[in-house]
Amino acid sequence: MTILYNLFFLLLSLLLTCILLFLLRVVLIKTGLIYIVKKKWRSIEDCFHVYQFFKVPEFNEGMQRNQLHHKVLVYLNSLTFIEDSDFTNLFTGKKPNEIVLHLDPNQIIEDDFLGAKISWINQDKTLVLKIRKADKRRVLRPYLQHIHSVSDEFDEKKRGLKLYVNVVDHQGDRKERWRSVPFTHTSSFETIAMESDLKNKVKSDLYSFAKAKQYYHRLGRVWKRSYLLYGPSGTGKSSFIAAMANFLSYDVYDLDLSKVSDNSDLKFLLLQTTTKALVVIEDLDRYLSEKSTAVSLPGILSFMDGILSSSCGEERIMVFTMNSKDHVDPAILRPGRIDVHIHFPLCNFTAFKTLANSYLGLKDHKLFPQVEEIFQNGASLSPAEIGELMIANRNSPSRALKAVINALQTDGDGRGALNLGRGSCENGSRKPVEEIGEPSGIFCKEGANAVKEFKKLYGFLRVKSCRKSQSFDLNSRQNEG
Ligand SMILES: Nc1ncnc2c1ncn2[C@@H]1O[C@H](COP(=O)(O)OP(=O)(O)OP(=O)(O)O)[C@@H](O)[C@H]1O
Ligand SMILES: [Mg+2]
C-alpha cells in the first residue's frame, strides 16, 4: 500500500513539475523574459571562452574601397538573423511593396556556421567579426568563402538580367561590340503552351546542366549546352528562349549574324560574352540559305562545337532557332553537334486549351468540342495567331472562341496539312499530333557522344531509341549533378 502511495506521489510531483515548467516557458516567451535569460546566459558563457576579433574596414590605407567590406555587408543584410536583432533599419526596395532590412551602425548580428557561433559588430565604417578561438582554425576560411559566394549570388540577383545585342564594328577596333538593355521579358515556362512533360524535361535538363560544373570538367568538356528550337513562325521559340533565361537567371546575348564581319569577328564577339549567358542565334536557316552573313559555315560549326568558346568564360547555353530543318546543311544537324532539338509545332487542341486558360481564363466551354473537331480534321494556326484572336476578344470568351473557329476554318486549313507532313524527331515520320497523342513539342537528344560517355560512366548497356536515350541521359545527369 505504501509503495502504491509513494508511486502515486511521485507521479503527481512529476506531473506538477512538468506543468510548472510549461507555465514558466509560456511566461518567459509571452513576456519576452526569455531574451533576457538568453542574453544573461550568453554573457556567462562568454566568460569561459577566449575570442578573436577580425576587423573588415570599409577603406584600405590607400583609401580604396575594400571589396570584402561590401561583400560582408551584402551577406549580413541577406541573413534572416537581422530580423531577430534588437533593432534594425527598414527601407523600401526596388520592387513595389518591397521592404528591405539594413544593418544599423553599432548593431550586433549573430550568425551560425558549421556549428560555430559568430557575431558581427557594425562599428564606424568597420565590420568586426568575433569568433571563438577554439572555432577559428576550423571555421574561419570556409566561412569567408561562404560569404563570398552568398554575396556574389545576391549581387547577381539584384543586378537584374540583361539583353545584349551586337552592333556593327564601324571603327574596326572590335571594342564595345555588345550593347545592353535591361532584359524585361516576362515569359516563363508557365506561360508557354507546351506539353507539360516536355516542359519538365527541359527544366530538369537546364537545372542539371547548371549544377554539373565538376562533371563537365572531369570529362574535359566545355561546360556548355546547346539547343535547337525549330518550328513555324509564331509557335513560341523566342518566348521559350526568354523563359529559359528567366528560369536560369542568365543574361541573353542575341547574336545578329548580319552584323558580324567574318569568322574572327564572331570569335571576338564570343570572347566578349560573360559567363552564365544564353548566346542566341535566331533564324539560322535563313542566314544560311540567304547567305546574308559574312560568317562561313565552318565558322558557325566551330562556334557550335565550343572550340571558340572554350577560351572564354564558361557556363553558357547556346540556342539556335530555325523555321525548318529541311534545307539546312546536314553538318549543322549531325548528331553530337547540338545537344537538344525541340520541335515547336502549330497549335493542337491541348495547346489551344492552355492558351484559352491563360488568355481567357477558360477551363472548359460549350464550344470546345467544336474546336477539337476542327483540330482533328487537320486545321491549325500558330499559338501566336490564336493568342492574338483571344486577346482581341478577351472581354467575351464566346466571341473569342468563335473568332478562333472561324480563323481555323478559313486560314487554318492548309496549315494543318503542312504541319502533318513535317518531320519531327529523327527516328520516325511524324503523325498528326492530336491523332497519336504525341506531345505538342518534340524533345530529341542527338548527342551520341555524350550518350556514350554517360553509358561508360554509369554502365548502362542497352542502346535505346533516340527518344529514350535522351530521357536516360537527363536522368543520369540529374543524379550526377
Ligand atoms: N506556345 C506558346 N505559348 C504561349 N504563347 C505563345 C506560344 N507561341 C507563341 N506564343 C505567343 O505568340 C507571340 C509570338 O511568339 P514567338 O515570338 O515566341 O514565336 P516564334 O516562334 O519565335 O516566331 P518567329 O519564328 O516568327 O520568330 C508571343 O507573344 C507569344 O506570347
Ligand atoms: Mg522568334
Ligand 1 in reach of 387 Cβ (< 6 A):
yes
Per-residue b/e over 177-188, b at no fewer than 16 CB within 10 Å? bbeeeebeeebe
Q: Do 112 and 183 reside in the same domain of the chain?
A: no
Quick check: is 177 in a domain?
yes
Cα of 368 vs centre of ligand 2, distance in Å, is: 29
Q: Do 397 and 358 reside in the same domain of the chain?
A: yes
Last residue of a domain, one of 421, 441, 463: 421
* Dihedral of the alpha carbons of 293, 299, 302, 308, in degrees to the nearest 10: -90
Ligand 1 in reach of 384 Cβ (< 6 A):
yes
Cα of 243 vs centre of ligand 1, distance in Å, is: 11
Q: Where is mean pLDDT largest: 99-113, 286-300, 464-478?
A: 286-300
Ligand 1 in reach of 122 Cβ (< 6 A):
no
Mean pLDDT across 190-216: 85
Q: Do 186 and 117 reside in the same domain of the chain?
A: no
Could you write out the three-class secondary structure of the chain?
Answer: CHHHHHHHHHHHHHHHHHHHHHHHHHHHHHHCHHHHHHHHHHHHHHCCCCEEEEEEECECCCCCECHHHHHHHHHHHHCCHHHHCCCCEEEECCCCCCEEEECCCCCEEEEEECCEEEEEEEECCEEEEEEEHHHHHHHHHHHHHHHHHHHHHHHHHHHCCEEEEECCCCCCCCCCCEEEEECCCCCCCCCCCCCHHHHHHHHHHHHHHHHCHHHHHHHCCCCEEEEEEECCCCCCHHHHHHHHHHHHCCEEEECCHHHCCCHHHHHHHHHCCCCCEEEEECCHHHHHHHCCCCCCHHHHHHHHHCCCHHHCCCCEEEEEEECCCCCCCHHHHCCCCCCEEEECCCCCHHHHHHHHHHHHCCCCCCCHHHHHHHHHCCCCCCHHHHHHHHHHCCCCHHHHHHHHHHHHHHCHHHHHHHHHHCCCCCCCCCCCHHHHCCCCCEEEECCHHHHHHHHHHHCCCCCCCHHHHHHHHHHHHHHHC
Name which of 209, 237, 214, 239 is nearest 224 in CA terms. 209
pLDDT in the model for residue 463:
27
User: How many domains does the chain fold into?
Assistant: 3
Range in 22-26, 191-195, 310-314 with the lowest mean pLDDT: 310-314
User: Do residues 379 and 412 touch, judged by C-beta distance below 8 A?
Assistant: yes
Quick check: is 479 in a domain?
no
Q: Do 331 and 401 reside in the same domain of the chain?
A: no
pLDDT in the model for residue 30:
75
Give the tens place of pLDDT for each residue, 350-396.
999 999 998 999 999 999 999 999 999 888 899 999 999 999 999 99
Q: Do 311 and 355 reside in the same domain of the chain?
A: no
Last residue of a domain, one of 374, 395, 421: 421
Q: Do 191 and 254 reside in the same domain of the chain?
A: yes
Quick check: is 74 in a domain?
yes
Those residues whose beta carbon sits under 5 angstroms from the ion ligand 2 are: 237-238
Last residue of a domain, one of 297, 325, 341: 341
* Dihedral of the alpha carbons of 198, 201, 206, 209, in degrees to the nearest 10: -150
Q: Quick one: pLDDT band at residue 209, thresholds 50, 70, 90?
A: confident
pLDDT in the model for residue 153:
80
Give the tens place of pLDDT for each residue, 222-275.
778 899 999 999 999 999 999 999 988 889 999 999 999 888 888 888 888 888
What CATH number is given to the structural domain containing 174?
Answer: 3.40.50.300
Q: Please give the residue that has the higher pLDDT: either 296 or 469.
A: 296
On whether the pTM is more than 0.80, the answer is no
Q: Do 172 and 149 reside in the same domain of the chain?
A: no
Q: Do 234 and 283 reside in the same domain of the chain?
A: yes
Q: Quick one: pLDDT band at residue 453, thresholds 50, 70, 90?
A: very low
Quick check: is 23 in a domain?
no
Per-residue b/e over 300-318, b at no fewer than 16 CB within 10 Å? bebbbbbebbeebeebbbb
Ligand 1 in reach of 374 Cβ (< 6 A):
no
pLDDT in the model for residue 307:
56
Q: Do 198 and 284 reside in the same domain of the chain?
A: yes
Q: Do 126 and 262 reside in the same domain of the chain?
A: no
Q: Do 310 and 169 reside in the same domain of the chain?
A: yes
pLDDT in the model for residue 471:
28
Ligand 1 in reach of 238 Cβ (< 6 A):
yes
Of all residues in the chain, the percent with pLDDT exceeding 90 is 29
Give the tens place of pLDDT for each residue, 54-90.
999 988 777 777 889 889 988 887 776 666 667 777 8
Radius of gyration of the chain (CA): 30
pLDDT in the model for residue 84:
66
User: Do residues 319 and 227 touch, judged by C-beta distance below 8 A?
Assistant: yes
User: Do residues 445 and 427 touch, judged by C-beta distance below 8 A?
Assistant: no
Quick check: is 459 in a domain?
no
Cα of 464 vs centre of ligand 2, distance in Å, is: 33
Q: Do 87 and 113 reside in the same domain of the chain?
A: yes
The range of the structural domain enclosing residue 289 comes to 163-341
